[in-house]
Structure 1
Amino acid sequence: MSVVKIGVVIGSIRENSQSDRIGKYINLLLSNMNVNIQVEYFSLRDLDIPLWNEEKWESGSDLKKFWKPISDRLKSCTGFVVISPEWAGMSPPHLKNFLLMCDSGELAHKPAQLIGISSGMGGAYPVAELRMSGYKNNFLWWMPDHMILRQVESLFVSTPPSDLDTRLTARLNYGLEFLVETAKAMQPVREKVQNLKLYKNGM
């Protein structure tokens, strides 16, 4: 059986962020699902990606050279988990910048599980924002189901796990299994149909 590589994208740049903690939990869940799943971890805090500008389109530019190894890692993935905290009711600018940088097919027509994070009872606005505009020219394919982890500091920290932890873990595993199977199914479709040279930008 071929290996499925899932990229886990952490949208927060805060030190010791809850998004990163949840990302590591997702990593563990994926690793426990199947020996043929590999995880590629993309922490925007660690990557420290510059703001997008037109220099990225210039051959040999510093920005293009900086992005190349990140782009290659993303292209090697067949699906993604994108974790977005809510900052002032919005998706963080660093995550939107990351999605802007992915204009060379890195994410194109690959499924992505979207997970919203909130320290309170919010988390819905970043999900709506990313679903509305976060896919346009990178063609990332959001899975129809998403999750919002509210009051996140209290989740997945108890031993034994709380009833809520158990229910949420089961729901996460359900979504991740859908993601992995969709990633497998979409790979031959991309190889047969995808034409990013002719159709580079969404409408």
Structure 2
Amino acid sequence: MSDVKIGIIIGSIRKKSQSDRIGKYISELLKNSNLSVEVDYFSLRDLEVPLWNEEKWESGSDLKKFWKPISDRLKSCQGFVVISPEWAGMVPPHLKNFLLMCDGGELAHKPAQLIAVSSGTGGAYPVAELRMSGYKNNFLWWMPDHMILRQVESLFTSTPPTDLDSRLTARLNYGLEFMIETAKAVVPVREKVQNLKLYKNGM
């Protein structure tokens, strides 16, 4: 039985998504590690989450019914990996919308490893954007050490792996283990202190 459940959130909806490819690579790293991890995979392309609107707060609304099974899956996770591409220097709107939907404690005070991908030499803007505003009312807890995978189409495609692949994989494993151990450690703190009824929104 696994010690912790980690959700992998893929912020791209493209058919041939590098974010999805990296997500699957990370999923395999987790499954093949000695960390006793269960993985739940949240592909925004597959989930087709509607745009947030006020129906989300209305009892019995179609949007509320649609969101509930996704919400339940997220609530069962203790930590997350969030993978964001850079679209025109920004986080994809689908990912920001997904984070906006998570206002029911799904992500609250749970650690997340942030990974940005870029087909070129970018990738810094999504990190800055998500760290600035991607946590406010969902209370997602970004780990201090993120990763940016630049020239991503050339990464993790060679057998045997390139020297860069090996170094990046080692750093991925380091960040993932840190996040997983943090996820385990913070569970009793969350159970003791968290009060989302009183403090539902960030300042």
TM superposition score category, shorter chain reference: over 0.9
Aligned pairs (5 A) from 1:17-56: 17-34=17-34, 36-56=36-56
Q: For residues 77 and 111 of structure 1, what CA distance do their matches in structure 2 show?
A: 10
**Aligned partner of residue 25 in structure 1, secondary structure:** helix
Match of 1:171 in 2: 171
Identity %: 86
Match of 1:181 in 2: 181
Which is worse superposed, 96-105 or 28-37?
28-37
Q: Quote how far apart the aligned CAs of 1:33 are.
A: 1.6
**Aligned partner of residue 181 in structure 2, secondary structure:** helix
Q: Quote how far apart the aligned CAs of 1:34 are.
A: 2.5
Write out per-residue CA displacement over residues 78-120 of structure 1, whole angstroms, 9 at most, x where no aligned residue: 0000000000000000000000000000000000000000000
One-letter code aligned to 2:200: K
**Aligned partner of residue 114 in structure 1, secondary structure:** strand
Preserved CA contact (<8 Å) 2:113 2:146 = yes
Match of 1:201 in 2: 201
- TM-score when scaled to structure 1? 0.99
Q: Quote how far apart the aligned CAs of 1:36 are.
A: 2.0
Write out per-residue CA displacement over residues 40-90 of structure 1, whole angstroms, 9 at most, x where no aligned residue: 000000000000000000000000000000000000000000000000000
Write out per-residue CA displacement over residues 133-165 of structure 1, whole angstroms, 9 at most, x where no aligned residue: 000000000000000000000000001000000
Flag the 1:2–1:41 CA change in 2: closer, same or farther, 3 A: closer
Structure 1 runs not aligned, ≥5 long? none
**Aligned partner of residue 33 in structure 1, secondary structure:** coil
- TM-score when scaled to structure 2? 0.99
One-letter code aligned to 2:110: K
Query: Aligned pair count?
Result: 203
Q: Quote how far apart the aligned CAs of 1:3 are.
A: 2.1
Preserved CA contact (<8 Å) 2:90 2:129 = yes
Structure 2 runs not aligned, ≥5 long? none
Q: For residues 135 and 35 of structure 1, what CA distance do their matches in structure 2 show?
A: 26
Preserved CA contact (<8 Å) 2:2 2:38 = no
Match of 1:74 in 2: 74
Q: Quote how far apart the aligned CAs of 1:16 are.
A: 1.9
Match of 2:91 in 1: 91
Q: Quote how far apart the aligned CAs of 1:32 are.
A: 1.4
Match of 2:149 in 1: 149
